[in-house]
Amino acid sequence: METAAKACASAPCANTAPGEDPGEIELRAANAELNEIRASSDDKLRWQTITLFSNSKDPKNQKLILHKESNTEVTLEADKGLLVFRSPKGRNAFQIAPPPGDADNPCPKYQVEIVDANSEHAIVRKICPKYVYGQGHEFKSFDYYLYDRATVMTQRFLLNLSR
């Protein structure tokens, strides 16, 4: 995500181009590195590095190629609470969260990470950071899902640490 250079909060900005905020320089470098990783042929590096966030406004940040050779990708459609797997063999969508604003949603913001993946399966971790929804009431969870193309299903498994 390219941003216009912002003026430095202090004058002069030490060791930067005149008037450019050092934070903007770091953000630009980090975005360039992420773009290189997204374009990389190393599938494992890509899915170990990139996290999908439910509150991201940029659609590029809610999509990840899991396996380049088979053209398999995962997309987080957070506005519907869906995790969608796509490949030339088809599209499979699975409900992993209620839509935002749902009264039964204890986790309004979450992130999705890929634990392991290849052309036929993916192990997905959904992380709900600590969310306080009332005095003395909080929720935090780590949910794991297994997507298996052969059976066209996803299963929640292993561990649900909800409080």
- Residue with the bigger pLDDT between 104 and 89: it is 89
Tell whether 15 is covered by a domain: no
Phi, psi torsion values for 91, nearest 5 degrees = -130, 130
Tell whether 147 is covered by a domain: yes
pLDDT of the residue at 10: 61
Mean pLDDT taken over the chain = 82
Tell whether 59 is covered by a domain: yes
The answer to which of 7-16, 29-38, 84-93, 104-113 has the lowest mean pLDDT is: 7-16
Tell whether 4 is covered by a domain: no
In this model, does residue 61 exceed pLDDT 60?
Answer: yes
Question: CA 9, CA 67: separation in Å to the nearest integer?
Answer: 43
Mean pLDDT of 120-132: 89
Tell whether 98 is covered by a domain: yes
Tell whether 17 is covered by a domain: no
pLDDT of the residue at 2: 45
Tell whether 132 is covered by a domain: yes
Are 30 and 84 within 8 A, CB to CB?
no
In this model, does residue 118 exceed pLDDT 80?
Answer: yes
Query: Residue 37 belongs to what domain range?
Result: 22-160
Tell whether 8 is covered by a domain: no
Mean pLDDT of 30-34: 88
Q: How many domains does the chain have?
A: 1
pTM listed for this prediction? 0.75
